[in-house]
């Protein structure tokens, strides 16, 4: 029998299902530290954990370990790279806590609107401060949702009974899909300027660090409420601190630098603070536990790898092509504009890449959307695209002499609701990733790395000199440059690799000076 160690206070349904199966010996202990348990059970085949840290040392202490299941979505507490080196599959149970978090958001909104916590405390103390706790109603309010993943969509669904108006920002979901959900598509600026409540449901990390800063906070209506049950660091709390009193803003928070006791940095500005309770429901715990056990059984009996988050690449596919698919899609997404919804995604895989189209599609999606993990499988990719309302077309390819190459085409919805198609093709040459075409500009062959300025303009003398002068005046050095021309459209493309990011104000200046069709600075 295979030994399964559950070193956490997880719902007993996981242990019950595994024991009933008959092929597993289960040890569940939520009191003893995991470091001690692994010493007592070195023959462990599988670990099922919640937020416990599964380090390289833990894995090394279990020579027979083959599977780690995270009963929850996030797996940043597990050393997935070391697990891959040791041939250990890491799985998670995404979506198990989505409803719990969505309901927590609504509970916090209601509790704050009606002063539930403070009124309970003073009433228990023998006071009667009814007039002090004049509240407000959620009914008819405008609610802004930043991020329409599983949780964001459930927030809107659960709040629908309050007859709210919903605005949402999600650069992946099309306006048609939002309309189906009864939600209006909006920019971040529109959400913060128009909404009574703004709730955040986006990933953390460098890409969203301090996203909600002075600019967006300054747009908020007086008395508006900001809810963060997503990740710590998305809100610039110093900026919030500076404007809170002036506008009478409310701040409801459930995320912190670390989930542990001790002083909290937002103590002076948060109107309601909870100890990261989003997934802390009996139901979420049960669903996560149940899924964890079923995933382990399905992996062993059916070879179902759909929930493995650290899969290795299949035999016959070079890892470089997975990276190429990721980098190309990330680059074309930035060129097209990260806030423009994608309507259609088309892919072409040439040469020996054709049999791996499903695998490479996952890498394409992860480049387009940072919250779509590169270790997902094709089934998860299809579900993601369906939820976002994006049509996927994987074209059959014929030999065009490209060798092993791939093309990613995106049709996006512009601000004027018109559709615009962007295209990129690339290959791998002598182990180097190469971009061979962007739209009509072919035979480019540059490496997609670092910071790069792209300018599309009507061809004429002096443009490159103007761009170079603008960059020099800003103290930005040019490290490499390509300047292809397309005779059919009489347009040219300036590809300028630079040592510093070209800021939006300088980009606007360059666009105006050279009358550019497009001017963007990307970082890959």
Domains and CATH numbers, the chain: 2-96+282-302 (3.40.50.720), 98-273 (3.40.50.720), 319-523 (3.30.70.260)
Contacts of 261 (CB under 8 A, 6+ apart): none
Tokens of 262: 């001790």
Q: What is the DSSP letter of 494?
A: E
Q: What is the pTM of this model?
A: 0.73
Q: What are the DSSP E strand ranges found in 369-431? A: 391-395, 405-413, 419-429
Tokens of 333: 């997404």
Amino acid 185: pLDDT: 92
Alpha helices in 211-312 (DSSP H): 214-219, 237-247, 282-302
Q: How far apart are CA 300 and CA 194, in angstroms?
A: 51
Amino acid 312: pLDDT: 67
For 425-451, the DSSP string reads EEEEETTEEEEEEETTEEEEEE---SE
3-state SS class at 46: strand
Indicate the helix (H) or strand (E) that contains 326: helix 319-336
The residue assigned the tokens 């997503």 is 230
Angle value at C-alpha 308, between 47 and 275, nearest 5 degrees: 60
Q: How far apart are CA 502 and CA 476, in angstroms?
A: 8
For residues 183 and 148, the answer to whether their CB atoms sit within 8 Å is: yes
3-state SS class at 380: helix
Over residues 36-50, the pLDDT tens digits come to 999 999 999 999 999
Amino acid 244: pLDDT: 97
For residues 156 and 182, the answer to whether their CB atoms sit within 8 Å is: yes
For 327-377, the DSSP string reads HHHHHHHHHH-TTSPEEEEEEEE-GGGGGGHHHHHHHHHHHH-TTS-TT--
For residues 93 and 295, the answer to whether their CB atoms sit within 8 Å is: yes
Angle value at C-alpha 143, between 138 and 148, nearest 5 degrees: 135
Contacts of 380 (CB under 8 A, 6+ apart): 306, 362
Amino acid 74: pLDDT: 76
Amino acid 18: pLDDT: 97
H helix count then E strand count, the chain: 17, 23
Question: What residues in the chain have per-residue pLDDT under 70?
Answer: 312, 375
Amino acid 159: pLDDT: 97
């Amino acid at each position: 029998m295979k030994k399964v160690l559950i070193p956490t206070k997880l719902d007993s349904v996981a242990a019950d299902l595994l024991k009933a199966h008959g092929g597993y010996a289960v040890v569940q202990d939520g009191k003893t530290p995991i470091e001690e348990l692994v010493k007592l059970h070195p023959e462990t085949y599988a670990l099922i954990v919640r937020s416990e840290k599964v380090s390289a040392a833990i894995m090394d202490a279990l020579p027979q370990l083959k599977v780690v299941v995270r009963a929850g979505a996030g797996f940043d507490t597990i050393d997935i790279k070391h697990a891959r080196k040791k041939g250990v599959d890491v799985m998670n149970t995404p979506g198990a806590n989505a409803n719990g978090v969505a309901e927590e958001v609504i509970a916090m909104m209601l509790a704050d609107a009606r002063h539930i916590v403070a009124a309970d405390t003073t009433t228990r103390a023998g006071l009667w401060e009814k007039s002090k706790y004049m509240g407000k109603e959620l009914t008819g309010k405008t609610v802004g949702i930043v991020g329409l993943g599983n949780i964001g969509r459930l927030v809107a669904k659960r709040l629908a009974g309050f007859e709210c108006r919903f605005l949402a920002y999600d650069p992946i979901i099309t306006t048609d899909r939002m309309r189906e959900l009864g939600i209006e598509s909006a920019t971040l600026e529109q959400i913060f300027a128009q909404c009574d409540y703004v709730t955040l449901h986006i990933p953390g990390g460098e890409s969203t660090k301090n996203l909600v800063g002075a600019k967006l906070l300054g747009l908020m209506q007086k008395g508006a409420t900001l809810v963060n049950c997503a990740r710590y660091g998305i809100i610039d709390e110093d900026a919030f601190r500076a404007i809170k009193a002036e506008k009478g803003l409310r701040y409801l928070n459930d995320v912190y630098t670390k989930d542990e006791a001790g002083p909290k940095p937002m103590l002076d500005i948060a109107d309601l603070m909870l100890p990261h309770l989003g997934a802390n429901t009996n139901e979420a715990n049960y669903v996560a536990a149940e899924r964890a056990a079923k995933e382990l059984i399905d992996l062993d009996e059916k070879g179902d790898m759909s929930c493995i988050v650290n899969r290795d690449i299949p035999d016959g596919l070079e890892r470089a092509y997975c990276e190429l698919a990721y980098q190309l899609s990330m680059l074309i997404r930035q060129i097209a504009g990260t806030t423009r919804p994608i309507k259609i995604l088309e892919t072409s895989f040439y040469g020996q890449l054709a049999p791996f189209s499903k695998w490479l599609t996952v890498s394409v999606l992860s480049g387009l959307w940072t919250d779509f993990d590169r270790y997902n499988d094709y089934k998860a990719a299809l579900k993601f695209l369906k939820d976002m309302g994006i049509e996927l077309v994987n074209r059959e390819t014929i030999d065009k002499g490209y060798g092993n190459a791939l093309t990613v085409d995106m049709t996006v919805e512009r601000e004027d609701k018109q559709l615009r198609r962007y295209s990129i093709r690339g290959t791998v040459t002598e182990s180097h990733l190469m971009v061979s075409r962007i739209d009509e500009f072919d035979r480019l062959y540059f490496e997609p790395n670092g910071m790069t300025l792209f300018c599309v303009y009507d061809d004429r003398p002096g443009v490159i000199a103007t761009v170079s002068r603008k960059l020099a005046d800003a103290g930005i050095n040019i490290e490499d440059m390509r300047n292809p021309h397309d005779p059919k459209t009489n347009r040219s493309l300036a590809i300028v690799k630079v040592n510093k990011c070209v800021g939006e104000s300088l980009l606007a200046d360059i666009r105006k000076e050279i009358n550019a069709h497009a001017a963007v600075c990307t970082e890959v």
